[in-house]
Amino acid sequence: MVRVHRPTPEFAGHLRVLYDRFPFDRSLADDPISVVRPLALDPRRGEIAGIFAATLAIGNTTAIRGAIGRLADAADGDLGSFITTIPSVERRKRLRAFRHRWIRGDQLAYLSDRLEAIYASDETLESIFANGMRDGGFADGLDALARRLRSPARPRGPRPPRGYRALFPSPLDPSHSPAKRLTLFVRWMVRARYPDLGYWHTVPTGELRVPLDHHVHWIAYHLGLTQRRTRSWATVEEVTRALREIDPIDPIRFDFVLCHTGISGDCPKERDLRICGPCAVRPDCRLWHGRRSAA
């Protein structure tokens, strides 16, 4: 029989203590949003900087922040003007040598063409997401965003470059992707509380879903917020439901803390009393379940 691990009845209080004690300033400096915020001077620039940064959010946070910085340098520090005033040919020239993991400059140049076309049609990424969500739900909103960003910039226009479509998976794809990067982008845009941007006003915070990276998934599984061992959209929904029971209005406020508890090493992902001893959620952790003594 598979043993099901559940958090203790006191878990909600333990998680709030973890949140209240968390050193946000320390971790903000190590988070991609620390590079996004200076670029997001208004809603349009916020969307543009946010979608580029979320697209680049692959790998460790140092490399991600460096990639966003290099992209901003190519745009002379203004990604909004890069989209609206710099010709497509010039954008491609500036991004030709760009590389971050498997993401290439020609892919980002194509994304810039898509954004130019979207804004030229008097739409925004918010309106695309909100319309999709209105027709179905949160996953449908992500699907609408993914489909619009993946599609050609104009009818019979150039086809997307190799590997481009894979940058924007949808939870409604056959793979049922957790769509971590698009979900992270929406979190940045919707939540007005620190450290997010809060530029979107048509999506309630209670409808957000957790951006499920491997740190959040590992911690969520070991706290009993999900019984699923793999990351999928079903796992996203399960973790989000558990967090919504604690805070129905803003369940995803805990995402930053859970993620950076893993990134920072505050969670060593093994029993280590020197680190785990002070942790507020240790009584709820699968690794410590049934161990009465803190010694």
What per-residue confidence (pLDDT) applies to 294? 44
What per-residue confidence (pLDDT) applies to 159? 86
Taking the mean position of all CA atoms in its chain, how far away is CA 233? 14
Mean pLDDT score, 130-149: 96
What per-residue confidence (pLDDT) applies to 151? 85
Q: What is the mean pLDDT of the chain?
A: 94
Contacts 24+ apart (CB under 8 A), 52-55: 52/79, 52/108, 52/111, 53/185, 54/181, 54/182, 54/184, 54/185, 54/188, 55/103, 55/108, 55/111, 55/167, 55/168, 55/181
Backbone angles phi, psi at 8, to 5 degrees: -70, 165
State the helix-helix crossing angle for 43-55 and 125-135, rounded to 10 degrees. 70
Tokens of 173: 């794809």
Distance (Å, whole) CA 252 – CA 146: 21
What type of residue is 58? I
- Confidence grade of residue 293 (pLDDT, cut at 50, 70, 90): very low
Contact 183, 236 (CB under 8 A): yes
Mean pLDDT score, 51-76: 97
- Confidence grade of residue 6 (pLDDT, cut at 50, 70, 90): confident
Radius of gyration of the chain (CA): 20
Compute the C-alpha angle 22/24/29, nearest 5°: 140
Tell me the per-residue pLDDT of 229-268, one tens digit each, with 9 for 90 and over.
999 999 999 999 999 999 999 999 999 999 999 999 999 9
Mean pLDDT score, 22-35: 93
pTM of the model: 0.94
Mean pLDDT score, 104-133: 97
